Structure 1
Amino acid sequence: MEQLVGVHHHRHSLSPRAPRTPTRAQPQPQPLLHHLPSNRFRDLHSQIHAHPAAGRVLRATPPFFLVLLAAVYLLASVTIFSAPTPLLRLRSVSPRPLLLPMPAPPPRPELFELDDGRVRVRLTNVGAAITSLLVPDKNGVLADVVLGFDSLDPYLLALLSRSQHLVWLQMELKSENGTSPYFGCIVGRVANRIKDGKFILNGVQHNLSINNPPNTLHGGFKGFDKTIWKVAEYNKGDNPSITFKYHSKDGEEGYPGDVSVTARYSLLSSATLKLEMEAIPLNKATPISLAQHTYWNLAGHSSGDVLSHSVQIWGSQITPVDQTSIPTGEFMSVSGTPFDFLDGNRIGSRVSQVPGGYDHNYVLDSGEVKLGLRHVAKVSDPLSLRVLDIWADAPGVQFYTGNFLHGITGKGGAVYGKHAGLCLETQGFPNAVNQPNFPSIVIHPGEKYRHTMLFEFSTE
């Protein structure tokens, strides 16, 4: 240490004494300080030579300081390592910011395609709708046999149909009676009409949106057709399929309880499109009745009206309606009436005998069964010889002949007029929630609503 600071002192005393007079000149030793990189030590050397008293104090300080530092270090080590385990972790237990889960972004509107080489289907998650379906005719020529739009814009604008800024557009996209044409979509929470938009369930009256005065139609202003569904699964392989999901909230359009809804479209090996619909009430009993609302024209969507199509419906009764299209609660035989399609009839042969056209619920009979589903209807076009067979497990089917289509511009600039397409919507009976003699559509928590359909294509 003395060499480091360049200080000489007597071996036995720290007291000062007179400097010894040298007998001959001797070179002064160069302090090692000049070889150290630290400026701090060079400054200290200068201060000691300038102030001798400081040097005397420094000679006693280093040993004492080192001993004190060692004692403190030893004491601290004993304290830390003898402390309970939580103290040893004190440095790692630093406060962390509170991380709140971010809500999932809403699904984006998209188009999807299923293709098995014979049937090609385009769908969108807007309303879980079919926008295009290509099938071959007797000569193998493909044609799009469903009404719809080329882009998603008209489907998306339907979501905003209540906006007062879109009144002009509503006139373009809506049909004559003020309601959306429901092209290709799934409708719900309850398909068809509910009288006066109200029902009583478990002693509580529920008031729904009145979007088809004086009644509620197809779920209300924002039914399942006017929502963007989540894509839960999409397979493009040998067995193409797509699964859409939607969460309907308690109070939506006036309906009670939260409901989880799933719709799965898949192509089977026999030129068949399968639709499986499920709905689970999560916390309250609620009415559920879903329907697929595609408009079919087997000659091609732009080929004009469907009055030349032949239709066979396996239903020997209908539920007659009042002047606002609400069932009276009665059952009427179709025998001897223009509603008789048991053996197949051309639509145009008797449509004029039905005021306004066909828009009625048929009570399905027990008949031929395929994959646990009964035969609902058969449609054929005399020109293309395309045939569509529909199978389902619902109690009824709404036969509708596009009576309110009026000048709607669709795919490829085609203009859809009256009777440009027909619908066969398998469903629970209309207004069943208010008719105790109809099959119940009320589903309770712990139960599951199921509804399956097959759309089977062929040629004659």
Structure 2
Amino acid sequence: MRHGHWTAPLLALAASAPAASADAATAVRAGFGALPDGIAIEAVTLTGSNGVSARIMTLGATLQSFNAPDRDGKVADITLGYDDAASYVTRPNFWGQTVGRYANRIAGGTFAIDGRTYRLPLNDKTNSLHGGTRGFDQYVWRITDVRSGPQASVTMVMRSPAGDQGYPGTLDVTVTYSLDDKGALTIDMSAKTDAPTIVNLTNHALFDLAGEGSSGGIYAQKMTIPARRYTPVDAALIPTGELAAVAGTVFDFTTPRAIGLSVRDGRDPQIVIGRGYDHNFVLDKGATDEPGLAARVEDPASGRVLEVLTTEPGVQFYSGNFIDGTYVGKRRHVYRMGDGFALEPQKFPNTPNQPSFGSARVDPGKPYRHRMVYRVSVSR
């Protein structure tokens, strides 16, 4: 369990969203309780005319809920989490937060820029995970814009000072969530620095397309990932540097495959290491200027479909292996192993220490940008 220190929210610049026509997506801003130390949390609910809605709260710039209809029109929240802001502090886990400065793992909590080595907190045994002991998921972000219209949106910002969790450079981060009337929730992430640093931002939602807390969990849901290679990991879940072919393995999701089909297949040592899937897939599309498909998941029972798109070259698929029944989430549902999956578009884990993986470096005057999309629809 991790407990952080909290930054007080600054004065929000947008008091409310402008009025919208009946056939446009709407944005509604409201209070969302307070943290145990009294810091107020706000949330903005984006709603499309097709019944899809998303609530984003200022704590962690978090996708707190994502509601989508099934083939019969029944709407359910398909993301795991809590019903109140305080629980995200008292029972922390990654439920839809914006994670950074560096999403995923950095081996040994160290990396170098221009010959200087930087050391980060170790919060994942021998690694630094999702930004360290106080990552961006634990900040209270500031709302700067709320809009209704063809795309309802909310923009949130935060500043990470130089030396924060050991990272160099002051980093100004902006995240905008935009929802249209066709079921696409776009998340635009950008960051500017005043000194060379590394950045890798993503959203860490955990999904159950049958509805969070469903009795059957995620294992019957069918996943496709357009990736012919993945990055095997060592015992510390750090990529070995190999880009291994998925063909003929339990990692082949190039055609639809039930999540539960091989999630317990101990014949594959990678499944044993991860206690299931907790691996980065090398997307065939690579890094792109516009979002391309990273994954598609379909729930045969409800008909709900989730597509994940990204401009980044990789996506981490996590099958909820470490959810152990100690988390009591929304509507008092007890979350257990296999109750949610994450698809985290990103640069590859430990890229700063693996030159063959590319670069996560960001320099002054050259901002970091990542656009990802969660698109929901229904299969008949």
* TM-score bucket (shorter structure): 0.7 to 0.9
CA-CA distance at 1:114 after TM superposition: 0.6
Q: Deviations over 1:66-96 (max 9, x none)?
A: xxxxxxxxxxxxxxxxxxxxxxxxxxxxxxx
2:290 to 342, 366, 372: 372
Q: How many residues align?
A: 334
* Residue 292, structure 1, aligned to residue 203, structure 2: yes
**Hey, which bits of structure 1, 4+ residues long, moved more than 4 A?**
103-107
Once the two structures are superposed, the pairs formed by residues 90-239 of structure 1 within 5 Å of their partners are: 105=10, 108-117=40-49, 118-157=51-90, 173=91, 180-239=92-151
Aligned-partner Cα distance in 2 for 1:259–1:303: 39
* Equivalence for 2:364: 445
Which amino acid in 1 is paired with 2:57? T
1:136·1:386 contact (CA, 8 Å) conserved in 2?
yes
Report deviation, 1:373: 1.7
Q: Paired residue for 2:246?
A: 334
Deviations 1:104-161 (A, max 9, x none): 947742122111222111110100001111110001110110001001111244xxxx
Q: Can you give the 5+ residue segments of structure 1 that lack an aligned partner in the other structure? A: 1-102, 158-172, 174-179
Please show how residues 363-442 of structure 1 align to structure 2 within 5 Å: 363-366=282-285, 372-407=290-325, 408-442=327-361
| Corresponding residue of 1:262 | 174
Deviations 1:306-328 (A, max 9, x none): 01110000111111110000011
Q: Which runs of 5+ in 2 are unaligned?
A: 1-7, 13-39, 266-270
Residue 18 of structure 2: aligned partner: none
Contact conserved, 2:48 with 2:182, CA < 8 A, in 1?
no
Identify the residue that residue 307 of structure 1 maps to in structure 2. Answer: 219
Q: Is the 8 A contact 2:9 2:141 kept in 1?
A: no
Q: Partners in 2 of 1:213 and 1:302 — Cα distance? A: 29
* TM-superposition CA deviations, 1:272-296 (whole Å, max 9, x none): 1111000111x21001001110001
Q: Is the 8 A contact 2:150 2:181 kept in 1?
A: no
Percent identical = 39
In 2 relative to 1, CA 104–386 (structure 1 residues): closer, same or farther, beyond 3 Å?
closer
**Amino acid corresponding to residue 448 of structure 1 in structure 2:** P
Higher RCO (C-alpha 8 Å, min separation 6): 2
Q: Distance in 2 between matches of 1:384 and 1:250?
A: 47
Give the aligned residue type for 1:284.
Answer: A
**Residues 105 and 340 of structure 1: CA distance in aligned 2, closer, same or farther (over 3 Å):** closer
Distance in 2, Cα, partners of 1:374 & 1:457: 15
Partners in 1 of 2:82 and 2:335 — Cα distance? 11
Aligned-pair CA distance for 1:236: 3.5
CA distance in 2, matches of 1:357, 1:181: 18
CA deviations on 1:250-282 (whole Å, 9 max, x unpaired) are 00000001011010001123211111000111x
- 2: distance between equivalents of 1:325 and 1:331? 15
More helix by share: 1
In structure 2, relative to structure 1, the CA distance for the partners of 1:380 and 1:105 (3 Å cut) is closer
Structure-1 separation of matches of 2:150 and 2:311: 27
- Residue 366 and residue 148 in structure 1: after superposition, are their counterparts in 2 closer, same or farther (change >3 A)? same
Q: Secondary structure at the match of 1:225?
A: helix
Change (3 A) 1:278 1:249: same
Distance 1:345 1:327 in 2: 24
Letter in 1 for 2:343: L
> CA distance change for structure 1 residues 105 and 129 in 2, over 3 Å: closer, same or farther?
closer
TM-score normalized by structure 2? 0.85
Equivalent pair of 1:126/1:156 in contact (CA under 8 Å): no
Q: 1:397 to 1:104 in 2, by over 3 A?
A: closer
Q: Secondary structure at the match of 2:357?
A: coil
Cα distance in structure 2, aligned partners of 1:104 and 1:397: 31
SS in 2 for 1:155: helix
Q: Which amino acid aligns with 2:300?
A: P
Distance 2:153 2:145 in 1: 8
- Structure 2 residue aligned with 1:277: 189
CA contact (8 A) 2:9 2:142 kept: no
Secondary structure of the structure 2 residue equivalent to 1:437: helix
Letter in 2 for 1:154: S
